[in-house]
Amino acid sequence: MARIVQKYGGTSVGTPDRIRAVARRLIARKMAGDDVVAVVSAMGHVTDELVDLASAVCSNPPDREMDMLLSTGEQVSIALLAMAIHAEGHDAISFTGPQVGIVTDPVHGKAKIQEVRADRILEALAEGKIVIVAGFQGATADGQITTLGRGGSDTTAAAVAAGTDADVCEIYTDVDGVFTADPRIVPRARKLDSIDYEAMLEMAASGAGVLQLRSVEFARNHGVVIHCRSSFNDNPGTIVKEADATMEQAIISGVTHDTSEAKVTIRDVPDRPGVAAFVFTRMAEANVNVDMIIQNVSEEGRTDISFTSPKTDLVRAKQ
């Protein structure tokens, strides 16, 4: 008997029919004798719709209230999936992130998981239930609701797998695995059977959207094996694990791109020691994720500093 954590994204649970299909997949693993935990994202475009609702009532909504709002999307998914499993005659229980002890730091909108207190999950598994956990969310030590940022359900799944000592964390998406390039742009892109953590981290950091960067980092740090595969077929996907002698030692694993980055340029900055440090210290304090930094050649004691960051961090960067 194995302990399996399966994560399903918004597309995989986007309609009632797809929710029922996920329920049948979970039941099949349970009937095969495995302990099964599912981590689920919000349905389809629900998170985007909630963001639009917030923008309709407030041009700059407080981060805390955004987390309160956005965390509701996953609660719909987990309850519906548990209901679908019950309708098939099997026992399931749904939990929010805080209910299963996902403890985070207090940074609203992009919180980091500090601890997973998995006792409630393990108790439910011991009772023979399929456990459904809301991805993307947690709570601080004093009970404040937080969210992990876009793609945070992958991180939740890796954290739950580590906290429950699962044999594998299966990330189900709308693609068949990790490819050497985006198959929508490069039709001849090849699916990788396996890839090591370091190569996957590089690909995720530079735009490969199939796995979220923080989830791969969490998996590497805790030795969690990830199996990235499609929720629409039973074909084997891509195994992400520690490098070993059986893996292909490819010079180039893949080619990626990222259209979610923005470039910010600060013009006419005094070219003296400490100015750049001051700028990027302020960015760090505002939790702006700075990727690349370029400083132009100084002219008459002034220079331009450019950096890239996610478009979602632009408001904080400007402040």
Give tens-digit pLDDT for 86-98.
999 999 999 999 9
Per-residue pLDDT tens for 4-53?
Answer: 999 999 988 999 999 999 999 999 999 999 999 999 999 988 999 999 99
Cβ–Cβ < 8 Å for 131, 37? yes
The tokens of 254 are what?
């893949």
CATH number for the domain formed by residue range(s) 3-174: 3.40.1160.10
pLDDT at 168 over 60: yes
Tell me the C-alpha distance between 300 and 296, whole Å: 12
> φ, ψ for residue 135 (rounded to 5)?
-80, 175
Tell me what pLDDT residue 246 has: 57
> φ, ψ for residue 11 (rounded to 5)?
-65, -40
Domain with CATH 3.40.1160.10 in the chain: 3-174
Per-residue pLDDT tens for 241-291?
Answer: 987 755 556 555 566 656 677 888 888 888 888 888 888 888 888 878 787
Please say whether the structural domain 261-318 has been given the CATH code 3.40.50.970: no
Tell me the C-alpha distance between 165 and 172, whole Å: 19
Domain with CATH 3.30.70.260 in the chain: 261-318
Q: Mean pLDDT, to the nearest integer, of 138-142?
A: 96
Tell me the C-alpha distance between 3 and 93, whole Å: 16
Tell me the C-alpha distance between 60 and 318, whole Å: 13
Tell me what pLDDT residue 314 has: 77
pTM for the model stands at 0.79
